[in-house]
Structure 1
Amino acid sequence: MAQDDPVVSAQWLQQHLGQLDIKVLDASWYMPQESRDPWQEYQVAHIPGALFFDIDGIVNRATDLPHMLPSEEAFAAAVSALGINNHDKVVVYDGKGFFSAPRVWWMFRVLGHDKVWVLDGGFPQWQASGFNIASSCPDDAVLKSKAANSAVETAYNGKLANAATFQTEFRPQLFWTLEKVKQNVAAKAHQVVDARAKGRFDGVMPEPREGVRSGHIPGTKCVPFPEMFDGAQTLLPADELSKKFEQEGILLDHPIVVTCGSGVTACILALVWKSCMLFLDISFETLTLPSSL
């Protein structure tokens, strides 16, 4: 496993599973219309030793907007409750293969933790590889996952949580606010890339959330996230990924901002862009993600 490579294979994880400094997180999350319960599915089947990371729970509790980045204090409290410290290597996966796990990968990175990877192909690839699956959920795993959510709530209620074992360091260059995006519409200093389906991008398909307008940010280009994978929901080779951006007129050596509906699938493009940057030997710090749209 290379430090800079954003993914690990199921084979790599199987070989290293159980090491004390390897922490595995199930970050499964599904769109509302899918009617799937990730917490329930985790309790039925997950990678042995994995803990559940609740994308709907470890969020900014001071806003009604979905999936807004939590404060440093709240994130540190939640990750500490999961038993993770800054020396640990974190591997994140999800139940669709490559969908919501990159969101948690980005959260760790924007808050200062580089030792984080996404399982290429996720839980489906783990299953297809024939590796062991845990079919029961230990009480300790349930308590830790619930404690993580409670720690976020405690932090936003202005109360002190238990002493954090995980320390954060916010990286503003990986995070854009709505105001920055509005300024960029006029300045056009950054390329903006949308991960949603073309129909949603063009405004001919409705948004999945009631009351949200269709269409896209002016000047944005569309690279739908499903185009990043092969039939097994594993990442395409870096040269093929690069071509996907180039075909849309996106300059790989120029800074980009990625966006989507609520800040989940945009992180897939963030991870893909990092892979492309490694392939082309370009600094990844040219990429940011607007998580406050």
Structure 2
Amino acid sequence: MVAEDMASTVLTRTLFHTGLLRSSSFLTRRTQLSTSFCNRRPFCLRTVPVYPAQKAKTAVWTPCVMASSSFGTRAAYSTQSISTNEPVVSVDWLHANLKDPDLKVLDASWYMPDEQRNPIQEYQVAHIPGALFFDIDGISDRTTNLPHMLPSEEAFAAACSALGIGNKDGIVVYDGKGLFSAARVWWMFRVFGHDRVWVLDGGLPRWRASGYDVESSASGDAILKASAASEAIEKVYHGQAVAPITFQTKFRPHLVWTLEQVKSNIEEKTHQHIDARSKPRFDGTAPEPRKGIRSGHVPGSKCIPFPQLLDASQTLLPADELKKRFEKEGISLESPLVSSCGTGVTACILVLGLHRLGKSDVVVYDGSWTEWAGHPDNTC
């Protein structure tokens, strides 16, 4: 218990330093609870890892679940095997595989500044059992004033290693809104060469609506890992050694663009540019949520607000519906694409949807509108 208190204190100080905590009401409850939001039926769970010969490098889970209750026994069912071609998994699949030792679950909740929501506090109030907290603002480039820019390879490897993530692990990322910031972390792992990563379709709201348990507060181990990840990022950017490194990266530069590449594309038009922000922000008729940032859009870009890719339960639309959304805006799925938004978060939802349509090479303009509009010489 003493170790847990010390870990919580270290995490609090670290998160205040990185700006994640904005309130002294950070929760440090030590009791780990399990809360059920409806009457659960007992499950008999069996998970079998399968490694197909034709895809020796990709693990595919095929769980079998038996459900029973006082009302009788339901037939067993098998969830579909997943591959890296499909970017999301269902809450039922995750529940069936939650105790797989080679599966890591990350709470990557992040909110817009004007929402005044604190993700680390919400994580402590309720999160999927065993989930670790992935700090989007903290695991970022510390050499720029732009928000949550992609960190260096060394920094990302150090943070993932501190969280206990290895290259053999499958990773499921979720967030507190359904499908919002989780796609950003999914994209980050892919940029650094890790393809065995999926987004939880519908996120925490869908998990809770399905009646699955959540944990309240966090274990000492989870607190220590979150703290260690933040400290590892700090050390890397201060030129200090970090060990041990258990997560190896392989940077894919073709998945991320800089300001200069976006400028060049206006003239060269090699990529179709799509913007995930709302139409009023895109048109310049509504203000940006960040103070001092003018509204408008990059010349030649087209607007596809990210909510158009989701249904009412915040789950990703089926492929045929997604295709209609892009075609309606004159987007050709046969040509290269670059996606942007306000700060590079919801742009990744467009990338997620396009991945479902078979386009695995969509680029994200990391600085997005915040960087573009911050340069007075750039046309809006």
User: Do the two structures share a fold, i.e. TM-score over 0.5?
Assistant: yes
Partners of 1:232 and 1:94 in 2: CA distance = 13
Shift of 1:139: 1.0
Q: Say yes or no: does 1:52 pair with 2:133.
A: yes
Distance 2:256 2:367 in 1: 8
Q: 2:323 aligns with which of 237, 242, 255?
A: 242
For 1:162, which of 231, 243, 246 is the aligned residue?
243
Aligned partners of 1:101, 1:210: CA distance in 2, in Å?
A: 25
Q: Report the Cα offset of residue 243 of structure 1.
A: 0.5
2:174 to 75, 86, 93: 93
- One-letter identity of the residue aligned with 2:337: I
Does residue 1:67 correspond to 2:142, yes or no?
Answer: no
Which residue does 2:367 correspond to in 1?
292
Alignment equivalent of 1:218, drawn from 286, 296, 299: 299
2: CA distance between counterparts of 1:193 and 1:290? 10
Task: Kindly indicate which of the two structures has a greater share of residues assigned to strand.
Answer: 2
- Secondary structure, aligned partner of 1:257: strand
Q: What does residue 132 of structure 1 align with? A: 213
Distance 1:119 1:166 in 2: 22
1:253 pairs with 334, 357, 363, which one? 334
Name the residue aligned to 2:18: none
Residue of structure 1 equivalent to 2:286: 205
Partner of 1:280: none
In the other structure, the counterpart of 1:149 is 230
Quote the Cα distance in structure 2 between the aligned partners of 1:177 and 1:38: 28
Question: Following the alignment from structure 1 to structure 2, what is the Cα–Cα distance between the partners of residues 249 and 82?
Answer: 42
Distance 1:276 1:201 in 2: 25
RCO higher in structure (CA 8 A, sep ≥6): 1
Aligned-partner Cα distance in 2 for 1:159–1:21? 30
Q: Please state whether the residue corresponding to 1:232 is helix, strand or coil.
A: coil
Quote how far apart the aligned CAs of 1:290 are: 1.2
Q: Deviations over 1:203-262 (max 9, x none)?
A: 000000011110000000000001111111111111001110000000011110000000
* Partner amino acid, structure 1, of 2:221: D
The 1-side partners of 2:271 and 2:154 are apart by: 30
Separation in 1, partners of 2:335, 2:247: 33
Gaps (5+ residues) in structure 2?
Answer: 1-81, 369-380
2:204 is matched with 123
Letter in 1 for 2:157: A
Give me the whole-angstrom Cα distance separating, in 2, the residues matched to 1:244 and 1:56. Answer: 30
Alpha-carbon distance between aligned partners in 2 of 1:151 and 1:187, rounded to the nearest angstrom: 40
- Distance, in Å, in 1 between the alignment partners of 2:98 and 2:243 is 28
Q: How many residues align?
A: 287
- Spell out, residue by residue over 1:244-288, the C-alpha distance to the aligned partner (whole angstroms, 9 max, x if none): 0000000011110000000000000011010112xxxxx522x11
Q: Give the Cα separation in 1 of the matches to 2:146 and 2:217.
A: 33
Tell me, in whole angstroms, the C-alpha distance in 2 between the residues paired with 1:121 and 1:90: 16
Structure 2 letter corresponding to 1:133: V
| Bigger mean CA deviation after superposition, 127-136 or 116-125 | 127-136
Tell me how large the CA RMSD over aligned residues is. Answer: 0.8
Tell me how far apart the structure 1 counterparts of residues 117 and 264 of structure 2 sit (CA, whole Å): 38
* Higher Cα radius of gyration: 2
Q: Which amino acid aligns with 2:84?
A: Q
Report the 3-state secondary structure (helix = DSSP H, G, I; strand = E; otherwise coil) of the residue aligned with 2:274: strand
Q: Distance in 2 between matches of 1:150 and 1:227?
A: 38
- 2-structure distance, mates of 1:226, 1:102: 13
* Residue 24 (str. 1) matches residue 100 (str. 2): no
- Equivalents in 2 of 1:221, 1:174: separation in Å? 19
Counterpart residue number, 1:77 = 158
* 1:118 Cα deviation from its structure 2 partner: 0.1
The residue identity in structure 1 corresponding to 2:102 is D
CA distance in 2, matches of 1:201, 1:19: 43
- Alpha-carbon shift at residue 113 of structure 1 (Å): 0.3
Deviation at 1:193, TM superposition (A): 0.2
Q: 1:136: how far off?
A: 2.3
Deviation, structure 1 residue 82: 0.4
